[in-house]
Structure 1
Amino acid sequence: MQKAWWKEAVVYQIYPRSFMDSNGDGIGDLQGIIKKLDYIKNLGITVIWVSPIYKSPNKDNGYDISDYQDIMDEFGTMEDFDELLKEIHQRGMKLVMDLVVNHTSDQHKWFLESRKSKDNKYRDYYIWKDPVDGHEPTNWGSYFSGSAWQFDETTGQYYLHQFVPEQPDLNWDNPVVRKEVFDMMTWWCEKGIDGFRMDVISLISKPEEYKDGPVKEGEKYSFCGAVTANGPHEHEYLQEMNQKVLSRYNLLTVGETSCVTLEEAKKYARSDGKELSMVFQFEHMDVDSDEHGKWTDKKLYLPDLKEVLNRWQKGLEEVAWNSLYWNNHDQPRVVSRWGNDSGEYRELSAKMLATCLHMMQGTPYVYQGEELGMTNMHFSDVSECDDIEEKNIYIDLVTDTKVYTHDQMMDIISKKGRDNARTPMQWDDSENAGFTTGTPWFAVNPNYKTINAAAQVEDPDSIYNYYRKLIELRKEEEVIVYGTFDGLEDADENLYIYTRSSENKKILVICNFTEKELDVPASIADMVKENRGILIGNYKDISEKIRPYEAVVYLTK
């Protein structure tokens, strides 16, 4: 298998608004990140991915960009950014920037011009369509509910926005738009950044024809992503991007690819290097969804999770490369979702989930606070929420359709909402978890008194130090990075078991996703009995049974 630095990397994602506030205004900033670089370096991290820090009106927490070559006021200045990049590089780490080029803010100079008139030279930078029978051009619904079209009085046309109305989609079919984007990317690469995480990059190529999509019974709109993802010119545009920008630098590139299939992923992240290093797929994030999407309290059925992850592990082997993640800024905290965030089992289950993920083939991503076992937070009223998606779904499923009661919906938002990932980072047990000396922009999880970095960094048995060991193991054991993957006992509803193998080494990974004590399956009993040592485990001693939330990695040859 072809080796690459980004295959051997471990990435730490920072959501700047919630990471560390250096000036007491209640909002995390670039100087705050600089203050905590040694903490990240100590964890063993090799790459930092920073969520958008560009100039933005913040209609969608920085994913609506009004100037790609300036910094959001709350986060600091371009001088602060230059200092951050220098400090990261001085510590031997790399920096990946978020690239949001499916859409801009409606306050971007291109859109302000575009909406002025039909013959404005920027008009074709965006997607404008005439009304059809006095209504939207198609029945497409946005990712955040409601129509994906916004009527503009000035010219009597609609523009496409797959997210909030203040995020108009760029027209990638216009070569001038592509050149503008590529020039901007080159500008950042020349500054010395080390890669891009590409937001919803699978949506940039729109269909040749704009026509209605299928609608679920009882719903008004057809989900736009099902119609626009992996469009007809998607790979052509990414290959052009690669040729004109990416191939000129030694970068890590990862695409957020909504609705991607395994076969499509092989095109995006294929080993010939013509497009991207890897993609984020979402199939494993959907295994506990139902007819209401993620807005359900459906429990995880472990064989479903194994089926998805094992298929991606085997499917991309020798062909492309996997990204590995449980958490990010759009997902609830995994220890609350698929572990057990009660006092007794929180640490064990957090370590188990980390082991399960980090022993797989691919590049692991750690989201801020995951290394501490930070948990979901309970929201009792939608007024406590910040996320536009949560507010819209409350209207949809409580106010309008009455699918759920208020209490049911708030319980589901507390389990699945994006705000769970956006509560401030828990640094210590002082006021506001040490995140800010001011009033935090968003509520701090009350459990910060017991779950915080200060309590864990010096504790050799902490979740933080367990992550350190996992990350160190990846650097020491090539089999963890490049070895082949084979799932075992796929139908088992309690245990996730797999092996990683290279020419001269083999490891066996056993993870118990329950609080039950279990017998070692007969199929692996000999491997366990004849093991050559334990590489890592989340219990201090050895047992003949598999204990609650136990994770153990055996060296078997």
Structure 2
Amino acid sequence: MMQFIYHILIDRFAGCNPAIKGRGYKGGNLEAIVDRLDYIRQLGATGILLTPFMKGWRAYHGYHITDYAKVNPHFGSWKMVDKLVDEVHKRGMTIIADFVANHCHKRSHVWQQHPEWFKTDPKGNPTYFNNIDYLPEFDLDHPEARRFMTDNGLLLCHHGFDALRLDYAKGPSIAFWQYFRKNIKREFPQVELIGEVWGKPLDKELPTKLDRAFRRGVLTEKEAWQKRYAGILDGVMDFAYQELLVQAVRSGERILGNKKLYEQVEKHFSHFSKCPAFCLYLFLENHDTNRFLFECKGDVSLLREAVNFSRQWQYPYIQYYGMEKGMYNKKDIRCGEPYADEWVRQCMNFDLPNILTNDTVHNFV
């Protein structure tokens, strides 16, 4: 059976209150997720992926960490983390933690006590993730910073997580990830390391062979960057695959019987056929993209085709919470409006009927 992973935005999944106004916390928590594990399993899921749960600064999504050693009290405690991991494993499922190594919030004691652990530009000024001036970027080639961040990854492994999703994996150097992998695998050889590899390359360069393949049109930019991490990580979130399906439905194409799309996807996968022990994690949407049903213009049948198409391959499939309930944004989150990503991070509505089934359609050509 292929992996079917259910992706949870902790604050907006279970235990949350949609009546709470504003962009802050709405009450979702780890204990409430435990109460919904049977619901998730009944969907056919074999595992769950959590957004970060470390202590952060006023950020419900969890990506603005201030203390890697503490659990955000809005979400629970280490005791509750352990309970969730245990309950997931009791059901024969796996659990993935989201690990933010590239940056932290400037209110972190690390930023205040160890400024030498962070990147600077040629003028000596701090560099910030996505130019957000309260998210300084770690210099993970600094020996002490490298050890600190690796110890925090090991902490999650000690708490029983089966895999780590590595947020913005393009930020830290390849040398850091090699060090990180070596130390994680020494103690926890079974733990999978999954990179989130997308976004602008900034000042980084591709290795010559991959750069030439990209410039000749053999690989797309997303494929080239994903392939960069073969042999470094165990796998990546497959943004190149997601883009192919989004382009198809935006062009008014169906998924079922779409020979052209099928061939495009097979060609995409073929680029990674000689990358042993490197896995592509397929998905249609997440907390940073439009809901796929938006791309389908609300056509539920087209969404079903895309889900079944994605679950037919030999790769793990990740489904964002609420897709099965037909949740979607009515406006494009890239429209330029402030905090438009909130439109794909709404509280889960368990009262809505499920619009997806566990059946997988295999005849797509």
Across the two proteins, how many residue pairs are aligned to each other? Answer: 328
- Residue 88 of structure 2 is matched in structure 1 by 88
1:160 aligns with 2:135: no
**Aligned ranges for residues 216-365 of structure 1 at < 5 Å?**
234=174, 236-249=175-188, 250-259=190-199, 261-270=222-231, 275-285=232-242, 299-300=250-251, 309-319=265-275, 320-337=278-295, 339-341=296-298, 345-346=299-300, 348-365=301-318
- Residue 469 of structure 1 is matched in structure 2 by 359
Q: 1:198 aligns with which of 166, 173, 176?
A: 166
- Residue 118 of structure 2 is matched in structure 1 by 126
Q: For 1:58 and 1:280, how far apart are their aligned partners in 2? A: 27
C-alpha change, 1:33 and 1:322, in structure 2 (3 Å) is same
C-alpha change, 1:372 and 1:246, in structure 2 (3 Å) is farther
Q: For 1:72 and 1:300, how far apart are their aligned partners in 2? A: 42
Q: CA deviation at 1:301?
A: 6.5
- Is the contact made by 1:288 and 1:301 (CA closer than 8 Å) also made in structure 2? no
The superposition leaves residues 83-108 of structure 1 with CA deviations (integer Å, 9 ceiling, x where unpaired) of 11111111111111001001011111
Unpaired runs of at least 5, structure 2:
21-25, 200-220
Q: Which amino acid aligns with 1:94?
A: T
- Residue 49 of structure 2 is matched in structure 1 by 49
Q: Which amino acid aligns with 1:300?
A: S
- Equivalent position SS for 2:350: coil
The superposition leaves residues 247-292 of structure 1 with CA deviations (integer Å, 9 ceiling, x where unpaired) of 532123210012564344334234xxxx3221124335556999xx
**Aligned ranges for residues 422-461 of structure 1 at < 5 Å?**
422-428=345-351, 452=352, 455-456=353-354
Q: For 2:246 and 2:2, how far apart are their aligned partners in 1? A: 32
Q: Which amino acid aligns with 2:316?
A: T
The superposition leaves residues 462-514 of structure 1 with CA deviations (integer Å, 9 ceiling, x where unpaired) of 41xx1x233xx9xxxxxxxxxxxxxxxxxxxxxxxxxxxxxxxxx6324xxxx
Q: CA deviation at 1:128?
A: 2.7
Q: Which amino acid aligns with 1:248?
A: E
- Is the contact made by 2:119 and 2:138 (CA closer than 8 Å) also made in structure 1? yes
Q: For 2:270 and 2:321, how far apart are their aligned partners in 1? A: 29
- Residue 138 of structure 1 is matched in structure 2 by none
Q: Which amino acid aligns with 2:342?
A: D
- Is the contact made by 1:22 and 1:31 (CA closer than 8 Å) also made in structure 2? no
C-alpha change, 1:29 and 1:175, in structure 2 (3 Å) is same
- Is the contact made by 2:2 and 2:314 (CA closer than 8 Å) also made in structure 1? no
Q: 2:326 aligns with which of 373, 379, 397?
A: 373
Larger Rg: 1 or 2?
Answer: 1
More contact order relative to length (CA 8 Å, sep ≥ 6): 2
C-alpha change, 1:172 and 1:279, in structure 2 (3 Å) is same
- Equivalent position SS for 2:70: strand
Q: Which amino acid aligns with 2:119?
A: I
- Equivalent position SS for 2:151: helix
Unpaired runs of at least 5, structure 1:
1-6, 114-121, 132-156, 206-233, 291-297, 380-386, 396-412, 429-451, 457-461, 474-506, 511-557
- Residue 23 of structure 2 is matched in structure 1 by none
Normalising by structure 2, we get a TM-score of 0.80
- Is the contact made by 2:294 and 2:330 (CA closer than 8 Å) also made in structure 1? no
Q: 2:364 aligns with which of 509, 523, 526?
A: 509
- Is the contact made by 1:322 and 1:361 (CA closer than 8 Å) also made in structure 2? no
Q: For 2:71 and 2:261, how far apart are their aligned partners in 1? A: 39
Q: CA deviation at 1:335?
A: 1.5
- Residue 443 of structure 1 is matched in structure 2 by none
Q: For 1:60 and 1:190, how far apart are their aligned partners in 2? A: 25
Q: For 2:245 and 2:319, how far apart are their aligned partners in 1? A: 21
**Aligned ranges for residues 397-412 of structure 1 at < 5 Å?**
none
Q: Which amino acid aligns with 1:266?
A: K
- Equivalent position SS for 1:202: coil
Q: For 2:280 and 2:224, how far apart are their aligned partners in 1? A: 13
- Equivalent position SS for 1:425: coil
Identical positions, percent: 22
- Is the contact made by 2:242 and 2:283 (CA closer than 8 Å) also made in structure 1? no
The superposition leaves residues 388-418 of structure 1 with CA deviations (integer Å, 9 ceiling, x where unpaired) of x87xx348xxxxxxxxxxxxxxxxx9xxx53
Q: Which amino acid aligns with 2:9?
A: Y
- Is the contact made by 1:331 and 1:420 (CA closer than 8 Å) also made in structure 2? no
- Is the contact made by 1:195 and 1:253 (CA closer than 8 Å) also made in structure 2? yes
- Is the contact made by 1:359 and 1:509 (CA closer than 8 Å) also made in structure 2? no
Q: For 2:34 and 2:70, how far apart are their aligned partners in 1? A: 18
Q: CA deviation at 1:307?
A: 7.2
Q: CA deviation at 1:318?
A: 4.4
Q: Which amino acid aligns with 1:326?
A: L
1:19 aligns with 2:13: yes
Q: Which amino acid aligns with 1:282?
A: F
